[in-house]
Amino acid sequence: MARRVLHDPYFKKAKEEGYLARSAFKLQQINQNKRLIRRGDRVLDLGCAPGAWLQVASELVGPKGTVVGIDLKPVTAQLAANITHRVGDVESIDPTELLALGSPVPRMYDVVLSDMAPNTTGHGDDLVSARLCDAVLALVPAVLKPTGHLVMKILEGAETPRILKQLRRGFVQAGAHKPDASRDVSRETYLFGLGWTGSPRAD
């Protein structure tokens, strides 16, 4: 079994650059590869704690953009002025609440992000991860602008092809990408959808 290296170069780099977690570099690399987030965008980060993806998204959208996060756990770090976050459950929140966050009037999002993952037990983790992806996909029609983009983490398993098929029904382009910052031993990969069509297409 490969030994997990806790204090790897990305861990050290995150500390040096002021990011809350090494996962910041995953989003940086995904964005460099897929060009998800642009200046001025409105971004929704589902499962945002501890806040590293909020930090990266904030930098990418710039001062005229908006980043909104939600997580079961509070984000306690001091963050940039263009970031709004709240405690809540992605699987049960009313989408209208999400649209109202970080804006004087309800507004849809240009990009939806999800780095959510289950509390791993080693048994059935991929199924729980797929359920979280289903929750994200259930929100997309209510919160994502037409032509908007999505990226979400999944633990690869039997349900991955089904989730990817759903993405391909609703986006112009869809696929999977594993950034270099993901650990080699990890089952995680990131599913992306580019160009939301406004509703899933029939098979």
Would you call 165 a catalytic residue per the annotation? no
**Residue 105: CB partners within 8 Å, gap ≥ 6?**
none
Q: What are phi and psi of 18, to 5 degrees?
A: 85, 20
Beta strands in the chain (DSSP E): 42-46, 66-71, 83-87, 109-114, 144-155, 171-177, 188-196
What is the spatial distance between Cα 201 and Cα 196, in angstroms, rounded to a whole number?
Answer: 11
Catalytic residue among 34, 153, 165, 178: 153
DSSP 83-122: EEEEE--TTT--HHHHHHTTSSS---EEEEEE-------S
Residue numbers annotated as active site:
153
